[in-house]
Every structure is written in structure tokens, then in C-alpha cells.
Amino acid sequence: MRRREFLKTTGLAAGVAATGLESIVAARRAPAHAQGTRLHILRWVDFIPEADVELKRQAPEASKALGAEVVFEFINFNDLQPRITAAVQSGAGADIIMMLYNWPHLYASALVDVSDVAEPIGKAQKGYYDVFNVTSKVDGKWLAVPHGIVGNAIAYRRSWHTEIGVKEFPQTWDEWREVGRKLKAKGKPVGQALGHSAGDPPTFAYPLLWSFGGAEVDRTGKKVVINSKGAVEAVKFMQAFWKDACDEGGLAWDDTSNNRAFHSGEISATLNGASIYIVAKRQREKIRDEKGEPMVQDIEHAALLPKGPAGQFALYVPFQHSVMKYSKNMKLAKDFVKWLHQKENYERWFQVNEGYSVGSTKTWEEHPMWSRIDRPLQVFRQAARQSRMLGYPGPASAKATESYTKYIVVDMFAKAVQGMKAEDAVKWAEGELSKIYEG
């Protein structure tokens, strides 16, 4: 698609997205919200700091356009869920909250139906990625407006892999284990978080389970089927992979640990979003390899995670904005989300991300930015098409979120790599999952 065509499409999208805003624009003045009205938006602290800077920069513009003070608050990824619970129970807090994964299912009763905002945006921008139909829609209603999705890929050091004769990143789990074994022997292990952290551990553990044919539940989402040959094989593989190829400190890592370990040259490869590459690129003077060269020159991305006997899978992190039912500014909140998705506003945030967070609609795959950014980042262009969701192959229900929040699948692997027999670890997970899905 040429730039002109893209602008035409997104311009049309923005026009539709601006439903309700067109009158504001026509009137050439801010709508009459009560004086002193404040719109509070709660989001995570982005792994690309410039993305938060851009949103903060847009806040005064939004305030001016909407006639109310727009305030962003950014908190740690892992603290979002506790904040949501506190806000919902006390009936007070941010008007708009960023929801990750399929959280709208868990907090459904506290969220406003935003179908009138979400549908026009999706319709005008070539549709949302399938994963959002699963995460943001509950019982046919949009309870969140999809905003973006963080894809992930294996970031690896090209030169270290070349040194051991690897020209292309391994395609299967077994091949990766073999490559990792050689690199670990040289003090350059694979780094993978397997602790209690909301991002990296689940995005690794679930696809690994699926790729060996394992799953938490069946298609109905009611029957726990984890005690299967596939799951046991996945766990057995993980035990060997962990011992042979991984930095065993990963059991205590959070979502930032692998970024630090990679940038300091401690690990050869790790599953991550584009943040390792982007931060290395933006801090090229500071983040250097052992030869003193900017490390970014030596970073490559491979996606998806390797193939298992049952295929190749991905779990990305979709995020969306929900308007809270307790909010006194529901109309304003919806207007703000429309404003945020207007082409000129969304585009600036999208471009700052350079592929770390990609668009929630397919239109953004065609943005001219993709032809400008570095080749290793191109891998994220269509990444969002691939993602499965928690609970797969069953529905991404609140039960699936509960299992995720309790780290059952992650801990199944973590227990096994600490010495529990694979069969026992799977059985433990079966017991816990039964209480969640069948209890």
C-alpha cells in the first residue's frame, strides 16, 4: 500500500472513529464538560519509555480537545490487577483502565459496554485482530476498546550463534536445546523468566505447552485435560532444556530481568518483545557488546517460538482500554478513547513504539513506518495475527484468567525444573486447574 492510500484509509478510519467528535471539531471549541472535570487514565509503565512520554505529551492536546483535564497514571505491570480490584470494590479510581490479556472477562460486571466506540474503529480500520474478539468481547459486547498488542520473538546474539556454526535460528525445540547447550557451555545461556511475573513467564510457558499438544482445558473450557501425554512431554522437555541450555536463575526473574541480562551480555537469547532491540538502539552509546561495539548491531529476532510435535504457537499481550462503570465521566471517557484512536494521535504513539506495540487493527500493518524501521523489527509487523489466548483451545474466560493469575501453568514447569517429576508436576497442575475450572 502506498503512503497516499494508507493515509486515505486511516483518515477515513479516523473520521468514523471520531463519531461524536465531529461535532466538536465542527463547533471549533471544546465540549461543555463541567468545569474542573478530570479524566484519569491508568496504564502500565511501558517497556518503551518513549511511549509513555508520547502519551503524556498528548494529554494537554486531549484536554484542550475534550474540555477536561486528561491525566495519565502509569504503574507497574504487575500492580495493575490489584489496582483494578481496589478501584472496582471501592467504586472509585481511574475512569479508564488498561486491561491486558483477557482481563475484561474477569472484571466484566464493572465495565461499560463500549461497542459504540470499538465497532466503528474496527470496521473502518480493516478489522481487529482475531485475538481481540476473544479478549475484549464478553457475551457479544465490547467491554474494552482494543488499543494494541505486544508481540514477542526470540531476541538473540547473532555473532555468538555464528561462532558455534548456527546461521539460522533453530526451528524446533530440540534444535534450540542443542544450540542452547553449546552456548551455555560457553557461559552464554538462554535466559527465560519462570517466576511470578505477569508477562514473560506465561508467554513462554503456554505456547510451549500447546506446541507439545498439551492444554489446560478442552474446547468447551469446562473439562480439565492437562494430564495428557503432550503436557508431560512438554514438561520433560522443559526440564532438559532448563538444565542444558538456560540460566537457572530465571526462576527468580521478573519481566525486566531478561532485558538487563541481555544488555549486560549475560545471555545469548531470550523471548521478549522488541524492547531489548529498541532500547539497545536508542542507547547505542551505553549498551555495547564485549568488543565495545553498539550491541544493537548484533541483535536478531526469531519468531515464533520453535515448533513442537503439535505445531508452533504464540501468546502475545493484547491490551485494551475499559471504561469503568463507577466513573462519573463515562461519556467523556468514551470521547477520549475515540480521540486517542484518531489517526493523527494514534499514529504518533504507534510510531514511537517502532513495532514493540503494534496496532490493534490490521490497517496499521500497512503503515509506511514498517518500511523505515530496522529489519530485525519487521518480524513484529504481522505478529498479532498469530496469537492464541489464555484458556486455548477453550474460551478465554474469567476462569482462564484466574488460572493465569495463580501462575498454575508457569508453576507446573517451575516445579519440574526444580526437581519434581514431570508426571507429578502435571498432576499437581491438574488438581489446581480442576478447582478453578470444575469447582
Partner 1 sequence: MKKPIAGGAGSVAGLEVALPHPRATQPQRLTRFLENERALAAILLAPTVLILGTFIAYPFIMGVWLSLSSTSVGNVGEFVGFKNFAKAWNDSIFRTAFGNTFYYTFWATIFKLTLGMWLALLLNRHFRGKRIVRASMLLPFIVPTVLSTFAWRWMFDPTFSVLNWLLYKGGLITTKLPFLSDGVYGMWCAITVNTWRGMPFFAITLLAGLQTINPDLHEAASLDGANGWKRFWHVTWPLLKPVTVVVVVFSVIQTFSDFQLIYVLTGGGPANSTHLLATYAYQVGVATGLLGEGAAISLFMLPVLFVVVWLQLRYLRRMEGA
Measured CA to CA, the distance from residue 213 to residue 161 in angstroms comes to 29
Helix H, strand E, coil C: the string for 175-225 is HHHHHHHHHHHCCCCEECCCCCCCCHHHHHHHHHHHHCCCCCECCCCCCEC
Burial state string for 93-109 with b = 16 or more CB within 10 A and e = fewer than 16: bbbbbbbbbbbbbbbee
Q: How many residues does the chain have?
A: 439
Phi, psi angle pair for 214, to nearest 5°: -90, 160
Q: Which stretch binds partner 1 (CB under 8 A): 18-26, 56-64, 295-303, 405-413?
A: 405-413
In the set 72, 74, 370, 428, which binds partner 1 (CB under 8 A)? 428
Residue 216, C-alpha cell as written in the block: 489446560
Q: Does 414 bind partner 1 (CB under 8 A)?
A: yes
Q: Which stretch binds partner 1 (CB under 8 A): 202-210, 300-308, 386-394, 406-414?
A: 406-414
- If one counts every other C-beta atom within 10 angstroms of the C-beta of residue 91, the result is 11
Examine residue 393 and say whether the peptide bond preceding it is cis (omega within 30 degrees of 0): yes
Of 263, 234, 238, 264, which is closest to residue 251 (Cα–Cα)?
238
Q: Which stretch binds partner 1 (CB under 8 A): 216-224, 229-237, 249-257, 346-354?
A: 249-257
| 262, 300 contact by CB (below 8 A) | no
Q: How far is the CB of 85 from partner 1 (least distance, A)?
A: 5
Residue with Cβ nearer partner 1 (180 or 195): 195
Q: Does 107 bind partner 1 (CB under 8 A)?
A: yes
Strand 96-100 and strand 38-44: pairing? parallel
Q: How far is the CB of 82 from partner 1 (least distance, A)?
A: 5
Q: Does 92 bind partner 1 (CB under 8 A)?
A: no
Q: Does 265 bind partner 1 (CB under 8 A)?
A: no
Q: In what order do the strands lie in the sheet with 357-359?
A: 69-75, 38-44, 96-100, 317-323, 145-150, 357-359
Task: Considering only the C-alpha atoms of the chain, give the largest distance between any 2 of them, rounded to a whole number of Å.
Answer: 69
Q: Does 187 bind partner 1 (CB under 8 A)?
A: no
In the set 61, 175, 402, 423, which binds partner 1 (CB under 8 A)? 402
Q: Which stretch binds partner 1 (CB under 8 A): 10-18, 84-92, 143-151, 308-316?
A: 84-92
Whole-angstrom CA distances from 229 to 29, 210, 314 are 64, 12, 21
Task: Enumerate the H helices of 20-150 as residue ranges.
Answer: 22-27, 49-66, 80-90, 103-106, 115-124, 130-135
Helix H, strand E, coil C: the string for 26-53 is HHCCCCCCCCCCEEEEEEECCCCHHHHH
Q: Does 431 bind partner 1 (CB under 8 A)?
A: yes
Q: How far is the CB of 141 from partner 1 (least distance, A)?
A: 15
Phi, psi angle pair for 224, to nearest 5°: -75, 125
Q: Does 58 bind partner 1 (CB under 8 A)?
A: no
Q: How far is the CB of 182 from partner 1 (least distance, A)?
A: 19
In the set 1, 53, 86, 185, which binds partner 1 (CB under 8 A)? 86
Residue with Cβ nearer partner 1 (365 or 432): 432
In the set 3, 29, 260, 286, which binds partner 1 (CB under 8 A)? 260
Q: Does 90 bind partner 1 (CB under 8 A)?
A: no
With cell 484518531, the residue in question is 342
Q: Does 106 bind partner 1 (CB under 8 A)?
A: yes
In the set 81, 227, 228, 283, which binds partner 1 (CB under 8 A)? 81
Q: Does 264 bind partner 1 (CB under 8 A)?
A: yes
Residue with Cβ nearer partner 1 (77 or 339): 77
Per-residue binder mask for partner 1 (CB under 8 A), 192-211, x = binder: --xxxx--------------
Q: Hey, what amino acid is at 385?
A: R
Q: Does 89 bind partner 1 (CB under 8 A)?
A: yes
Q: Does 261 bind partner 1 (CB under 8 A)?
A: yes
Q: Provide the binding-site residues for partner 1, judged by CB under 8 A.
A: 78, 81-82, 84-86, 88-89, 106-110, 194-197, 247-254, 257, 260-261, 264, 266, 401-402, 405-407, 411, 414-415, 418, 428, 431-432, 435, 439
